[in-house]
Amino acid sequence: MPLLEALEITKVYNLGDVAVNALDGVTVIMEKGEFIAIMGASGSGKSTFMNIIGCLDKPTGGSYLLEGIDVSMLDRDELAAIRGNKIGFVFQGFNLLSRTSALENVELPMLYSGVPAKERRERAFEALRKVGLEGRENHHTNQLSGGQQQRVAIARALVNDAPIILADEPTGNLDTRTSVEIMELFVRLNSESNITIIIVTHESDIAAYSQRVIKFQDGRIISDERKDE
Amino acid sequence: MINIPSTFKISFRALRVNKMRSALTMLGIIIGVGSVITMLAVGAGASRKISEFISSIGGNILMVLPGTTTSSGVRMGAGTQSTLTLSDAEAIKRDCPAAQDVAPVLGGVAQVAYGNQNWSTGVTGTTPDMLSGRDWKLSSGRPFTDQDVKGATKVCLLGQTVVDNLFGDTDPVGQVVRIKRIPFVVYGVLDRKGQSPSGQDQDDTIFVPITAAQKILFGTAFPGMVRIIYVKARSEQDLPLAEDQITELLRQRHRIGPRQENNFTVRNLTQILQASEQSAKLMTMLLGAIASVSLLVGGIGIMNIMLVSVTERTREIGIRMAVGAKTWDIRLQFIIEALTLSLIGGIAGIVLGISGSEILSALAGWPTAVSVLSIFLAFTFSGIVGIFFGFYPAYKASLLNPIDALRYE
């Protein structure tokens, strides 16, 4: 069973009397352990697609199966539960809670999946160690550098043992050197923990870290290439 | 699954981050709860004083006053032949079936001495009916009798305050005190009654047979004069009947013609007091209602701040939703924030209300009574205010679309 199956996904936005087809029949199958880059210009539909596979949005048509479950049938709270347990998000703007410690940020997903306090703490420490932030657990996020903040976000994505990490332009706000560090961290997590990593980017040197590149244009997939190792 | 303790933690953190704002929001509730408690305490204090006095004078009491007319403005003062006499009192007792106890009173202030101690107090000449009418027991000794009244015996009953001031630890029963230098034997000591609503110490008194007061202590303009006659009716239902019987009897005895004004007044003391107790209760409700408005305003303040807070923290809400927060996780977070504001405000308001009542009693001398019920009510009400006014902002927050919330700047 594939990890993720998007079959003939369409998404239509009604802007007044104009209907915009953001996605126009997208079919992709992703397997566990893949490292995928989704590329495309802005307006190509890549972000819409990412919102749908991230269960932040529902498709207008088609079906989306996550671990064999048809997600398009689920309600708001069921989607929230899937986001909490199956998907870790990493955003361009980090999206951490400000004036809150790194540790508490990482604990957040477990808070909503009902992990007991003691275990939450242990797992958050462990996740921060994995991303190389040992000793900074109690720093507030606004005291950390951009690269460190993104590491906190990655730790947060890891902490519930989600099989998928969805990263939307994760290096967009970082300098080149830090970008390399973050990408190497993704590569390491992919190879060591077999986590499926899906990165949305428009930079080809970021996409170069992946094993498979899917290109979007005008709401359709125009290419889907696997690198030969 | 909703994790209540963690949600509480999140809420407390959010409130701590905006300390000034939280404190000001609470202030609305603090003032609201504080004023509800203070106002209820003022009202309750007033009505408690009145009902204490009603029970201290005993129920179903009529007062017969001499020489004052109610409508014509012609006042027949004391010392005229129309004044009440001891025989009027005896006649009421004898001829008015609705009157159970009849206690004529003639009194004055006199210096009382025992040993080397002396004390100035009100000396009341009366009959044994005074004790049964006012439901006043003796703590020791025995009362004087109708025989003592007939014989104008020099005996007396002492109020507790008088005993405290003259005797200290000595048992006064059987001792001799000198009232206006005239020796009186102490027959008994009266039970403690406390203060009247006007703040008068009812225990600062001495009872002597009325005849002794008339003949020995104070003297009278004419034989048998009394100042007031207290009448206790047999029951509450008998009060109007007793009033009529007394009026008719006294008009006959004073030979007042059909078109003439009464030269005495019968007052229904219990009714007057009950009416004022009733109005005190009404006042309590009114004060409480006005104070509740400020609590309501405080609640609107909470709602206002929570709405601002939801808008400000749209991104935070988006993040929480992205990592798995469900509808009720978000709702509960904001409801608990509102509830925390209102309950902490409520507790501070209770403290403010209690100290406010104490200060009012101390400075203005108003009797206040903070009741447990009013504290409980104010606290519960502030909790309800928190939930009620917190729900809409929380509901609004929970309906946000996670994608839009994450992109919110």
CB-count burial class (<10 Å; 0-12, 13-18, 19+) for B130: buried
Residue A106 has pLDDT above 90, yes or no: yes
Distances (CA, A) of B198 to A179, B38, B123, B177, B201: 85, 21, 19, 29, 9
Out of A146-155, A158-167, B282-291, pick the least confident.
B282-291
Residue B71 has pLDDT above 70, yes or no: no
pLDDT at B317: 93
| Minimal CA separation from A113 to chain B, in Å | 7
- Dist. CA B157–CA B173, nearest whole Å: 9
The reply to whether residue B320 touches residue A112, judged by beta carbons under 8 angstroms, is: yes
pLDDT at B69: 47
SS (H, E, C) chain B: CCCHHHHHHHHHHHHHHCHHHHHHHHHHHHHHHHHHHHHHHHHHHHHHHHHHHHHHHCCCEEEEEECCCCCCCCCCCCCCCCCCEHHHHHHHHHHCCCEEEEEEEEEEEEEEEECCEEEEEEEEEECCHHHHHCCCCEEEECCCCHHHHHHCCCEEEECHHHHHHHCCCCCCCCCEEEECCEEEEEEEEECCCCECCCCCECCCEEEEEHHHHHHHHHCCCCCCECCEEEEEECCCCCHHHHHHHHHHHHHHHCCCCCCCCCCEEEEEHHHHHHHHHHHHHHHHHHHHHHHHHHHHHHHHHHHHHHHHHHHHCHHHHHHHHHCCCCHHHHHHHHHHHHHHHHHHHHHHHHHHHHHHHHHHHHHHCCCCCCCHHHHHHHHHHHHHHHHHHHHHHHHHHHCCCHHHHHHCC
pTM of the model: 0.71
Confidence of residue B80 (pLDDT cuts 50, 70, 90): very low
Nearest to B92 by CA among B290, B257, B230, B298: B230
Residue B124 has pLDDT above 70, yes or no: yes
Interface test with B, best of A74, A104, A111, A120 (most B CBs within 10 A): A111
Out of A50-59, A154-163, B9-18, B399-408, pick the least confident.
B9-18
Out of B42-56, B152-166, B285-299, B365-379, pick the least confident.
B42-56
Residue B115 has pLDDT above 90, yes or no: no
| Minimal CA separation from A80 to chain B, in Å | 4
Could you tell me if residue B167 is left (phi over 0), alpha (psi between -120 and 50 degrees) or otherwise beta?
A: alpha
pLDDT at B72: 53
Interface test with A, best of B18, B323, B326 (most A CBs within 10 A): B323
The reply to whether residue A112 touches residue B13, judged by beta carbons under 8 angstroms, is: no
pLDDT at B2: 62
Q: Which residue(s) pair with B103 in the sheet?
A: B230
| Minimal CA separation from A56 to chain B, in Å | 6
The reply to whether residue B403 touches residue A97, judged by beta carbons under 8 angstroms, is: no
Out of A147-161, B58-72, B292-306, B347-361, pick the least confident.
B58-72
Which residues in chain B have Cβ-Cβ distances shorter than 8 Å to A114?
Answer: 1, 3
Q: What is the arithmetic mean of pLDDT over B124-147? A: 88
pLDDT at B225: 84
pLDDT at B73: 54
**Higher pLDDT among residues B220 and A31, named by residue:** A31
Assembly ipTM: 0.93
pLDDT at B198: 64
Of A85, A97, A99, the CB nearest to B324: A85
| Minimal CA separation from A100 to chain B, in Å | 9
Of A80, A97, A99, the CB nearest to B324: A80
Of A96, A99, A111, the CB nearest to B17: A99
Cβ–Cβ contact B329 with A under 8 A: yes
pLDDT at B68: 54
- Dist. CA B158–CA B127, nearest whole Å: 14
Q: What is the arithmetic mean of pLDDT over B312-325? A: 92
Of B17, B329, B402, the CB nearest to A112: B329
Whether B43 contacts B283, CB under 8 Å? yes
Dihedral of alpha carbons B203, B205, B208, B210, sign: negative
pLDDT at B197: 61
The token duo for A229 is 């190792």
Beta strands A164-168 and A196-201: pairing type?
A: parallel
Whether A65 contacts A71, CB under 8 Å? yes
The reply to whether residue A95 touches residue B329, judged by beta carbons under 8 angstroms, is: no
Whether B103 contacts B207, CB under 8 Å? no
Whether B322 contacts A89, CB under 8 Å? yes
Whether B367 contacts B49, CB under 8 Å? yes
Residue-averaged pLDDT of chain B:
86
Residue A213 has pLDDT above 80, yes or no: yes
The reply to whether residue A114 touches residue B406, judged by beta carbons under 8 angstroms, is: no
Residue B315 has pLDDT above 70, yes or no: yes
Residue-averaged pLDDT of chain A:
92
